[in-house]
Amino acid sequence: MSKSLIIAEKPSVAQDIVRALTPQSGKFEKYDEYFENEHYVVSSAVGHLVEIKAPEEFDVKRGKWSFNNLPVIPPHFDLNPIDKSKGRLNALVKLIRRKDVTSLINACDAGREGELIFRLIIQYAGTAKAAITKPVSRLWLQSMTPQAIRDGFDKLRSDKQMLPLADAARCRSEADWLVGINGTRAMTAFNSRDGGFFLTTVGRVQTPTLSIVVEREEKIRKHVYRDYWEVRGSFDAVAGQYEGKWFDPKFKKGEDAEARADRLWNKADADAIAAAVQGQPASVSEESKPTTSSCGGLYDLTTLQREANSRFGFSAKTTLSLAQALYEKHKVLTYPRTDSRFLPEDYLAVAKQTAEMIASEDLPGPLRELAAHAKTAIKNGYIKPTKKVFDNAKVSDHFAIIPTLQAPKSLTEIEAKLYDLVVKRFLAVFFPPAEFQVTTRISTVKAQINGDSKEFNFQTNGKVLVKPGWLAVYGKEVQEDDANLVAVAPGELVATESVDVKALQTKPPARYTEATLLSAMEGAGKLIDDDELREAMAEKGLGTPATRAATIEGLLTEKYMLREGRELIPTAKAFQLMTLLRGLDVQELTRPELTGDWEFKLAEMEKGRLERDAFMAEIAAMTEKVVQKAKSYDRDTIPGDYATLKTPCPKCAGIVKENYRRFTCTGKDGASEGCGFSIGKIPGGRSFELHEVEKFLADKKIGPLEGFRSKAGWPFTAELALVYDEEISNWKLEFDFGEDAKKAEGDGEPVDFGGQESLGACPKCQGHVYEHGSNYVCEHAVGAAVTCDFKSGKIILQQPIETGQMRKLLAEGKTELLENFVSNKTRRKFKAFLAYDKKEGKVMFEFEPRAAKVPAAKKAAAKKATAKS
């Protein structure tokens, strides 16, 4: 009997499909890699199983960090299996080639990446002589409930319908490969010309996103603080006291972007106004008018990520993984990787059923409070057709993120937070607008200043919530009064009881958070708060809702940005890259608008309005330009906005200035060749931050620092020393791998630990353990008479080991769970404890035990591996 092979993106989705189809098509038998019954074989990938690579003749493995083989623009792309998934790939290939499998159903995630995963597997399963030609259908799921899956099978899409999406998916993948491979190798080769290895990654979306953050930081650093003053008065009325702020009613916006109607740039003017109005009567006029505020639209992924970051501090990556779990595992949210904020026009009945579920189900914990609002919406008939919610023209392949008809049962605390956010927005969007009464009060004082009679105006604003409308869903109640705005009778004169002059300073623009950066990416570099304008720009954004989180995480992983609280701060490496790209005049990689246009063209391709070949030709031309610019730029310096260090030259006390490659003495006048002192900006492939190099010049040493790379590209940790070289009669930078400490080991010089506090007892010999160079060592493992060999690094696989953790290890046998180890092999972060293993006689990694799938008596012990420093 002929059968259809269904390929899902993940094993959990394959199981959901089996459960949904069983009532209609019969029981499935379970095998190692698949399920099977009379009609279907169901299996899955585990995300991407293959990756694209250039054909052999265009391979860049040899000389890959030089210009010799660049640019690499192959006429076609071959495929390579991803090592860790080879078993799953081979199993799928066997199923695809089975003779009784006569048709294929793509059940991967409903989007560009899901299409690509399936297409590449099918391509790999074929051969050069015999491509897979079995008919293909597409299962397009917006929700993972059993009924939604069955409905999806009733409406399978044809392969022809999906070809434009497949073209866009391949173009995205190949374009990213071309720009990433060529750009990264070209910039790395340029930066490594003086020797060493300075990995400089660039990307089609990653680099313009970084450009947004760097430009903001440049504005912050260049901001010149200006003093200004505000005059604030306190007025006594019969009913009580209120405050007002002086303003100039004649103010008009001009060239000075920092000017405001209530700012005075001269303290004397502010003091004169305060003195003139003090104790004087003021007449009062006020205007009061009603105003309304409507709820924002339903969530797409980017808006949800922004809100979750603002409210809870969730990273974009965390929000995406939570939303994916709520969709895939719990089945309580619709498909999250969407760029639409609307529902189909025939979805009104489903929306009403969803509200009824929320009203009637006994939801866990704080979610229970949402039932009352759902009941209000149903009782008052709030859920009705409205273009703000139901609009076919604004629904792409996916619709907005809303709750499904399935009630949640066992959510974690953070899953519940995100679910609550989505449910509240789903309900609030149907509620009427909130109504306010807004009052603007002007208190006018007539007074003499410098012999002239003038009027001085003070403004007070009040806002009273009259009807909460949609705000009720968020717990806002009606205000009876506004405490800041006491009543003033018509014609009443109030007294200027006191006046304060407040000294303030202008502020630079705020740093990006993930919430504001997501908004900027959505608007291709423009921060867009207006919903309608953001919607118009959405198709020209940087990346897609599904990829923006990964882009931000990639910039953090490559140390182009750091997180400090909720702020994203670009590093010296980021400024170095932007300086280089601007100096080379490679605008395509720095201007978000251009990359936003490429994303728009991919969206046009998905709609069948643009040919694949035309887009790829444009990407190839841009790639050639980037490489050619880097190859042909032969000057030693790149133009840029460079810093002058506060720390003087260690040799002549002259002024040290930065250029593209080095920090160089420019003499005491800052304009000459100086004394010849100079150090590289990127020793060992790691960029100096300005505060680091200033400390280094002052202290003559720094570290240990992580993030250095060997010539082969492997990361390592080291200290840096500034050493005086008699031959050149100047100071030079050297790596210090603890040579002084090594000399003191074995039969070296005795080591005096008298000034240090012991961290604990050595687990091997019970001696004292101290800090020593880049290690923690037993006192008996160094010096003239070595009797012990206990030693552990202060930084292990890029994870700093604080003294508190070493104390804990010595006292209790292991540290707390440490989260920032980075594998030398995979370059990925991992979590582990550090524990002392008596049998091995050294510090080892100990991993969290996995949830056992076997009886408790047979649970395996936690894995251990040597912790190499």
Of 441, 486, 446, nearest to 282 by C-alpha is 446
DSSP string, 214-264: HHHHHHHHH----EEEEEEEEEEETTEEEEEEEE-TT----S-TT--TT-B
Asked if residue 228 lies in contact with residue 505, where contact means CB atoms within 8 angstroms, the answer is: yes
Q: Which residues are catalytic?
A: 335
Q: Which residues pair with 865 in a beta bridge?
A: 845
Q: What are phi and psi of 717, to 5 degrees?
A: -115, 140
Residue indicated by tokens 């190692």: 32
Report CA Rg, the chain.
33
The span from the CA of 66 to the CA of 57, in Å, is 17
CA dihedral 697, 700, 702, 704 (to 10 degrees): 150
The span from the CA of 619 to the CA of 204, in Å, is 10
If phi > 0 it is left, if psi is from -120 to 50 it is alpha, else beta; for residue 260 that is: beta
Asked if residue 537 lies in contact with residue 528, where contact means CB atoms within 8 angstroms, the answer is: yes
Of 408, 394, 427, nearest to 300 by C-alpha is 394
Q: DSSP letter at 333?
A: B
The span from the CA of 203 to the CA of 187, in Å, is 11
Q: What are phi and psi of 43, to 5 degrees?
A: -140, -175
817, amino acid identity: L
Q: Provide CB contacts within 8 A for 430, sequence distance 6+.
A: 351, 355, 377, 382, 383, 384, 386, 389
The span from the CA of 85 to the CA of 175, in Å, is 24
Beta strand residue intervals within 45-134, DSSP E: 50-53, 78-81, 101-107
Helix (H, G, I), strand (E, B) or coil at 703: strand
Exposure of 612 by Cβ count < 10 A (0-12 exposed, 13-18 middle, 19+ buried)?
A: middle
- Work out the number of other CB atoms within 10 angstroms of the CB of residue 762: 22
The span from the CA of 185 to the CA of 433, in Å, is 55
